[in-house]
């Protein structure tokens, strides 16, 4: 059963302007705290990713994730898939060589990105795959994330 609401007393004093201002300020502070917590969580995730990226090796789970992405792309009738992404800050030049299309961009790779590239050179390139690296985001106009795109399309048009 629905609750019965008390009838509105039209003669009751409304909250004061100061009370309403304080409520708005309180809600703004709560929202700021919520956003600060979310930002801290994101920063921690980025720090954890960077540590794993630079200190650990490509795992079986990483390889399986790439294979799953390729399989999904094939199922969708595509000839290319973004198989890995990471912050351009994790390149030795912050992604400048990749962004400018420098042919020596692989020399700027570190950590897992270097391992993925080396695996590509050893295992996938001889099988006819192509790999390109691109900056996929530009926060504040600066290179953000790098994407590795694996391609298995024909060279013939």
Residue 1: is its pLDDT beyond 60?
no
Q: How far apart are CA 94 and CA 80, in angstroms?
A: 25
pLDDT at residue number 135: 96
What is the arithmetic mean of pLDDT over 140-154?
Answer: 93
pLDDT at residue number 90: 92
CA separation, residue 59 to residues 1, 11, 13, 56, 115 (Å): 57, 70, 66, 8, 10
Q: How far apart are CA 36 and CA 50, in angstroms?
A: 21
Pairing of β 145-151 and β 130-135: antiparallel
Q: What is the pLDDT of residues 107-145, one digit of tens each?
A: 999 999 999 999 999 999 999 999 999 999 999 999 999
Residue 102: is its pLDDT beyond 90?
yes
Residue 99: is its pLDDT beyond 80?
yes
DSSP, collapsed to helix, strand or coil, labels residue 1 as: coil
Contact present, 88 and 81 (Cβ < 8 Å):
no
Residue 153: is its pLDDT beyond 60?
yes
Residue 156: is its pLDDT beyond 80?
no
Contact present, 90 and 31 (Cβ < 8 Å):
no
Report angle CA 22, 27, 30 to the nearest 5 degrees: 125
Residue 91: is its pLDDT beyond 70?
yes
Percent pLDDT > 90 in the chain is 76
Residue 116 main-chain phi, psi, to 5 deg? -60, -40
Q: How far apart are CA 82 and CA 75, in angstroms?
A: 15
- Using the CB atoms, write b or e for 112-143: b if 16+ within 10 Å: bbbbbbebbeeebeeeeeebebebeeeeeeeb
Q: What is the pLDDT of residues 20-74, one digit of tens each?
A: 999 999 999 999 999 999 999 988 988 888 888 888 899 999 999 999 999 999 9
């Amino acid at each position: 059963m629905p609750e019965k609401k008390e009838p509105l007393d039209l003669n009751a004093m409304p909250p004061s302007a100061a009370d309403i201002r304080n409520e708005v300020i309180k809600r703004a502070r709560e929202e700021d705290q919520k956003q600060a917590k979310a930002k801290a969580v994101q920063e921690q995730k980025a720090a954890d990713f960077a540590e794993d990226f630079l200190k650990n090796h490509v795992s079986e789970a990483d390889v399986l994730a790439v294979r799953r992405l390729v399989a999904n792309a094939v199922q969708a009738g595509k000839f290319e898939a973004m198989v890995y992404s990471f912050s351009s800050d994790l390149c030795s030049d912050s992604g400048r060589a990749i962004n400018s299309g420098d042919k020596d961009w692989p020399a700027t790779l570190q950590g897992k990105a270097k391992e993925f590239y080396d695996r590509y050179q050893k295992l996938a390139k001889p099988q006819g795959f192509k790999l390109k690296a691109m900056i996929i985001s530009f926060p504040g106009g600066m290179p953000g994330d790098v994407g590795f795109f694996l391609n298995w399309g024909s060279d013939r048009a």
